[in-house]
Amino acid sequence: MASTSTPTPKTNRIGLSVMEYKGGKTTLCAGCGHNAISERILEAMYEMGVQPERLAKLSGIGCSSKSPAYFMNRSHSFNAVHGRMPSVATGAVLANRNLLALGVSGDGDTASIGMGQFIHLMRRNLPIIYIIEDNGVYGLTKGQFSATADVGSKLKTGVVNDLPAIDTCVLAIQLGATFVGRSFSGDKKQLSAMMKAAIAHRGTVMLDVISPCVTFNDHEGSTKSYKYMKDHDEPLHEVNFVPAFEDISVDYDPGTTVDVTMHDGSQLHLRKLEEDYDPTNRIGAITRLLEAHEKNEVLTGVLYVNTKAPNFIDLVNMTDKPLATLPQEVTRPSRKVLEECMEELR
């Protein structure tokens, strides 16, 4: 499709140029963290050589939920209703198990109106990459607090939040998501590596990405500002991702990394910055996250990963072909079956 004239543009492993991954021009504010996340998604998809037609982008409502329009125009997209994208995504994945589902949500979209659906999505371990573009406020409705705002965080108007923050990562780990991470829209390297690992995972990936709202929540007193993140970001490890198709082996000193083999054979190398952190230990992860709240730290990195748990598609014992395109010969039982059913009822 990237028909070539001279000079040959750089292409990825499936022969597409990065242009084939572009979206529409963003209408979000200049400097909005969400734009940076869109860039990272786009790059990761390009670098991983994801066929754009295989991707299904889904979102709720909010500035964050608008962002699927700003990357990957060649992919189908569904901008659904506020907070209820998880169910739409679930339906889509059930209908076509070959799709790579990417859900883009906001902290308002997820942690308030969408909490019910979020929780149940995590429980099902549906194969999906679910990203929360987390700015602690409702950007699109002009800056009210969201449920991820920290206690003591201050709005521009001076209003102080005195309700505890919901930690979506703690919830996701507790509920059964199998790849849970937190990152920062300003940390290009970490977020890129985590995005690529997410693409390699088969199960629910939940990434909470702190994404400052420059218009309503980037001031002194905010705990979701660029400045606050610079001061409080505590990376647990250096995230390195080596895709399966790149035949590179990396050698680290034994004991300095946690190595995870992803479903597609890719390698995730987490070079330890915090000696005792084990991202395969659910309880340890939750404990450490709760502790971080006490210490005003924002822990980032791959918080939890489990490549063994069955995902929802496995659990429903679904046929290998997408349900959406099964022919009538498969989906309509025979005349004999109807006769049998009628006879039973006589």
Partner 1 sequence: MATTDVAIQHAGRPASKPIVNDMSIQVATVNGSGSQSSNTVLLRTIFQMGVPVSGKNLFPSNIAGLPTWYTIRANKDGYIARKKEIDFLVAMNPETAQEDVLSLGDGAVVLYDEPLNLRSLRQDLIFYSVPYDKLVATVCPEAKLRKLVKNMVYVGVVARLLNLDMAEVEKAIRKQFARKVKAAELNLAAARAGYDYAVASLTKQDPYRIERMDKNKGKIIIDGNSASALGCMFAGVTVVTWYPITPSSSLVETLIDYMKEYRIGPDGKATFAIVQAEDELAAIGMVIGAGWAGARSMTATAGPGISLMSEFAGLAYYVEVPAVIWDIQRVGPSTGLPTRTSQGDVLSTAFLSHGDTKHILLFPSSPQECFKFAGEAFDLAEQFQTPVFVLSDLDLGMNNWMSEPFEYPEKPIQRGKVLSKEDLERLGGFQRYKDVDGDGIPYRTLPGTEHPAAAWFARGSGHNEKSQYSERPDDFEHNMERINRKFETARSHVPRPEVHTGKSKIGIIAYGTSHWAITESLDQLRGEYNMEADYLRVRAYPFTREVHDFIEKHERVYVVEQNRDAQLLSLLKLDVSPERITRLRSIAHIHGLPLDARSVTDEIMTMEGK
The residues of the shown chain that bind ligand SF4, judged by CB under 6 A, are 28-29, 32, 34, 63, 135, 139-140, 213-216
**Residue 102 carries which side chain, given as an amino acid letter?**
L
135 torsion bin: left (phi>0), alpha (psi -120 to 50), beta (else) = alpha
Structure tokens, 1? 């499709």
Q: Which of 22, 54, 74, 82 binds ligand TPP (CB under 6 A)?
A: 82
Q: From CA 115, how far away is CA 33, in angstroms rounded?
A: 22
**141 to 180: interface string for ligand TPP, x by CB under 6 A:** x----x----------------------------------
The residue whose Cβ lies closest to ligand TPP is 106
Q: Is 298 left (phi over 0), alpha (psi -120 to 50) or beta?
A: beta
Residue 94 contacts partner 1 per CB under 8 A: yes
Q: Would you count residue 1 as binding partner 1 (CB under 8 A)?
A: yes
Nearest distance from residue 244's CB to ligand SF4, in Å? 35
* Binding-residue total with partner 1 (CB under 8 A): 60
Give which of 167, 301, 168, 169 is closest to 236, Cα–Cα.
Answer: 301
d(Cα 91, Cα 302) in Å, to the nearest integer? 27
28 binds partner 1 (CB under 8 A): no
Which listed option, ligand SF4, partner 1, ligand TPP, none, makes contact with residue 172 (CB within 5 to 8 Å by class)? Answer: none
Interface of this chain with partner 1, residues 118 to 147, rule: CB under 8 A? 119-120
19 binding partner 1? (CB under 8 A): no
Task: State how far the Cα of 151 lies from the Cα of 101, in Å rounded to an integer.
Answer: 33
**Which structure tokens are listed for 141?**
């409705």
- Please choose, out of 56-64, 93-101, 235-243, 335-343, the segment that lies near ligand TPP by the rule CB under 6 A: 56-64
Does residue 212 touch ligand TPP according to CB under 6 A? no
Angle, helix 85-95 to helix 115-124, in steps of 10 degrees? 30
- Scan residues 115-144 and list those touching Mg ion (CB under 5 A): 135
> Residue 36: what are its φ and ψ, rounded to 5°?
-65, -40
Closest separation in Å from C-beta 146 to ligand SF4: 11
Stretch that binds ligand TPP, among 90-98, 103-111, 155-163, 180-188 (CB under 6 A): 103-111
List the one residue from 86, 127, 203, 235 that touches partner 1 (CB under 8 A): 86
Do residues 105 and 133 make contact, with C-beta atoms less than 8 angstroms apart?
A: yes
Give dist(CA 204, CA 103) in Å, integer: 10
Q: What is the DSSP letter of 324?
A: G
The whole-angstrom separation of Cα 237 and Cα 257 is 8
Q: Which is nearer to partner 1, 8 or 328 (CB)?
A: 328
Residue entry with tokens 């046929």: 319
Q: From the CB of 114, what's the least distance to ligand TPP, in Å?
A: 8
CB nearer partner 1, residue 163 or residue 323: 323
**Euclidean distance between CA atoms 199 and 243, whole angstroms:** 10
69 binds ligand TPP (CB under 6 A): no
Please name which of 29, 37, 25 lies closest in space to residue 132, comparing C-alpha atoms.
37
- Only segment of 5-13, 100-108, 183-191, 215-223 that touches Mg ion (CB under 5 A): 100-108
Task: Point out which residues bind ligand TPP (CB under 6 A).
Answer: 61-64, 82, 106-109, 133, 135, 137-141, 146
